[in-house]
Amino acid sequence: MYLKLGCSKQNISYWKNHSYSTQAKKSIYDVIRKAAEIFGLDDKTAESLANCAGLSLEFEGGDLISYLGYSGSKTDLYKKAMISERMFWHYKTKTPTKEAILALMITLNKNCSEIDLLLHKYGYCLSDSIITDAVIKWNLKNHHGTSHLDEINSTLSDMGLPLLMTRQV
């Protein structure tokens, strides 16, 4: 059955060990689409199957830069969000990491609902059970959407958690 779906036991092992990898997500999307085709699943059922994997078939990436709705200097934006220029332009066509989306949205002072919507479009969410996510949510809610990336990173650093950016400066 694995081979009919276009994956192997090695793929499944990789997914378990690299659950946050965009490469793993892409191959999971491919398997979900193939399963929907083989089993004749309708769109709603295929979406439910993807949701069980923590993903969404409704939207699996695309032009992050256009979704941000930012009209200023792109250079200023990626520098403020502490994302390398190369990765910023990579997100033009590839799926960004959750941390990159959060860094960009927080830099743009987006509110919680806007952040949640964009995260969902890319198959992510802010969870109350993940401590880093809980810290970010708390900062966003208690600073009325005006929380800055530096403040959040300072809090994360004080707690010994990974910082919310894709590169160190």
Q: What is the pLDDT of residue 149?
A: 83
Tokens of 169: 């400066």
> Nearest-CA neighbor of 118 among 67, 56, 70?
67
Residue with structure tokens 């969410």? 125
Residue with structure tokens 């949510």? 137
Q: What is the pLDDT of residue 117?
A: 85
The pTM score is: 0.60
- How confident is the model over 50-77, as a mean pLDDT? 71
Letter string b/e over residues 115-131, b meaning 16 or more CB atoms within 10 A of that residue's CB: bbebbebbbbebeeeee
CA distance to 102, 156, 164, per residue, from 132 (Å) = 11, 7, 9
Q: Is pLDDT at 72 greater than 50 in this prediction?
A: yes
Q: Is pLDDT at 58 greater than 70 in this prediction?
A: no
